[in-house]
Amino acid sequence: MALEFNKLVDQLHKMGRMIQELDFDVSDRLQIAIQRLYAADDLNAIHERIDMVRRPDVSGYRGAAPLDAPHHERICDTFSPPSAPPGATILAVDGSQIYPNERWRVPYFLTNVGLFVYFHGQEHTPIQATLPKLTYHPDRVRDKNKRVLTNRTIDALRTTREIEELGKAAWELREQARPLVALYDNHLLFWANEDVTGHTELMRKYHGSLVHLHDSRSILAGYVDNPTRSRLVIRLLHLMSLSEEEVRSSELGAGDLEGLSDVDLFNAVLAPGERSALMVQNSPRNLAYKKRGENYEIAFFYIKVTSGYQNAIARIDLPMWVARDTQAVDDLHALLLMQCAMQGRNPYPYVLTRADELAVVSSKDKAKLEEMIRLEWRLNQPDMDPLVFSAKGFGKQIARSNKRLHEI
Amino acid sequence: MVGTQEQLMVGRVLRASTRGFACGTQSNRVDNKHDFGAFVSAPIANDDTIQAVGLIYAVEIKDDLLVNELVMADAVNASILRDQRENRMVPMEISVLNIGYRYTANGAVVHSLPPRPPMSLSQVDLCTSEVILEFTRRQDFFPLVLNAAEVPSDDLLAAAIRYASWQHDDQQARYEFLVRCGRAIARQLSHDLKRLEHVLALIRPA
């Protein structure tokens, strides 16, 4: 039965009236934020304030902080587009998955990683590869309580595979043109919580891959497109507006800048092609990364990429071994701008678009894979249906099937 | 004209009927084997002894949203062009109108629709000079082209005649072939002088 849209008309009108009443105007708060950003030109004062919130009697600050001296940059500074290196190798990975389904007698899951290599400055056909991995052994598809792995666990497995494959590819291509940029389509502060099966092992693998990428002297970067939920710098600006007493007593969120995001701020502050200062996220997770080695703390900057038609703000995560290398940051900055100007109006890195295209497992692909699994069952267990019959599932299937016309 | 099977390959059948078929290939493989009006052949379903013979009447290049976006870019660099053409395999579709069939065993030609269509994925090859000369010895396939509603029939017939004429090495033989074809068209289009004039103009020897 189709949705009865006539019953939704009144509700939609009400929704429209509510939208009309909502206040989307953040310009007053934005002006305050911009003033505070330009006023925050004293790195010593910011370091003092960050030291203060890192003391045990103050807790809960989850905002931005400058890098340690001598690599720190004034948070109010913006950086013009540098010139791009004449040659570079740019790798990108992305992944997708099929989650396990208990209805199969032998549940399986699939992770697929798409890898794309672009040779900047050379007329060379890019390299592409897909790396599908089917996991079906009960020991690997079920947890210790014999339950099928959760979707969160599969997501974590996919993430570790993505970064692992990026590390392997970077190592194999280490002799190619330098700089070697390894681009990942997400933030780099991966964290597997305790509800993820094998979380300790997954974190160990993830950090192992970071080491691999470091060993191959890659410029690793995590590309976070349109990070509307990110308020790291806004929180820092709020922190800098508080007195010492207020820092100890108040909640260290966005305060009077609530509702404003870093994207709003840097959309106003950055010109097309510019980047913000390098900063780090002050959080227990990042501290844990730093404790594994100073090179593995995750820094970030914002960048306003442009296609010439349209601009977009992205947050670029990068490990400290990259952040401390001025030339590497400049190369990354320039190459990202070039990548974002490559696909017409859409300001997004071409390599990531292609990696996503390679990685995605469509519903048609999934149906085809299921057909192939059924064939294996027929060959090896001809008397048994690979799917446990579900009256509910079958009922849904027949009721939702396409209607047919009577034709003569 | 004659080469190895690989050199003659135009593509592989995507879908087919007795009236014609569509075949696909990679865009980077498109060359003079895919000319409008070229003679091609493919084995019919479950019988390698009979080859459907057809004329290419359309070559279409597919797109997607990414290609659309790239078209909007100020300049597309060489690496992206290679990536799009070689890696992404933007498919090309070649449409063919059946105009007859031939028995491979003895080379006998029938100017009528083939008994069965080719199967999907069958190899489609460019016809050799010998096959084209044999096939166009008579002009009985002209009505199949002129009456095909779904194709630009006049231009297709003219292109096919010109294509076939190039298979004659001797200039006099080429001239005689074109005159013979002109007379056959005149018989077919005697009721439509405007159309006749147009087609004859298209095949007039230079």
Q: Which domains does chain A have, with CATH numbers?
A: 88-359 (3.30.2170), 363-398 (no CATH)
Contact call for B72 and A353, based on CB within 8 A: no
Contact call for B83 and A126, based on CB within 8 A: yes
Q: A249 or A391: whose pLDDT is higher?
A: A391
Residues B24, B124 contacting (CB under 8 angstroms): no
> pLDDT tens, A95-112?
999 999 988 999 999 999
For residue B87, the chain A residue with the least C-alpha distance is A128
Give the phi and the psi of residue A101 in degrees, each rounded to 5.
Answer: -130, 120
* Residue A219, Cβ density class (10 Å: 0-12 exposed, 13-18 middle, ≥19 buried): buried
Residues B121, B168 contacting (CB under 8 angstroms): no
Whether residue B75 has pLDDT greater than 80 = no
Residue B89 — very low, low, confident or very high, per pLDDT cuts 50/70/90?
A: low
Whether residue A180 has pLDDT greater than 50 = yes
Residue (of B53, B55, B41) closest to B11 by Cα position = B41
Contact call for B79 and A124, based on CB within 8 A: yes
Residue B132 — very low, low, confident or very high, per pLDDT cuts 50/70/90?
A: very high
Residues B33, B127 contacting (CB under 8 angstroms): no
Whether residue A86 has pLDDT greater than 80 = yes
Whether residue B73 has pLDDT greater than 80 = no
Whether residue B4 has pLDDT greater than 60 = no
Contact call for B87 and A341, based on CB within 8 A: no
pTM of the model: 0.81
Of the candidate ranges A1-5, A284-288, A311-315, B179-183, the one whose mean pLDDT is the lowest: A1-5
Whether residue B46 has pLDDT greater than 90 = no
B187-202 average pLDDT score: 94
**Beta strand pairing call for A298-306 and A279-281:** antiparallel
State chain A's mean pLDDT as an integer. 92
For residue B81, the chain A residue with the least C-alpha distance is A125
Q: Give the closest-approach CA distance of B89 to chain A in angstroms.
A: 12
Whether residue A169 has pLDDT greater than 70 = yes
Contact residues on chain B for A350, CB-CB shorter than 8 A? 80
State chain B's mean pLDDT as an integer. 89
Domain boundaries, chain B: 5-203
Suggest the residue from B77, B84, B89, B90 to mutate for an interface test with chain A (most A CBs closer than 10 A). B77
pLDDT reported for residue B168:
94
Share of chain B above pLDDT 70, in %: 95
Q: Smallest Cβ distance to B74: which of A124, A308, A350?
A: A308
Whether residue A361 has pLDDT greater than 70 = yes
Residue A401 — very low, low, confident or very high, per pLDDT cuts 50/70/90?
A: confident
Contact call for A126 and B78, based on CB within 8 A: no
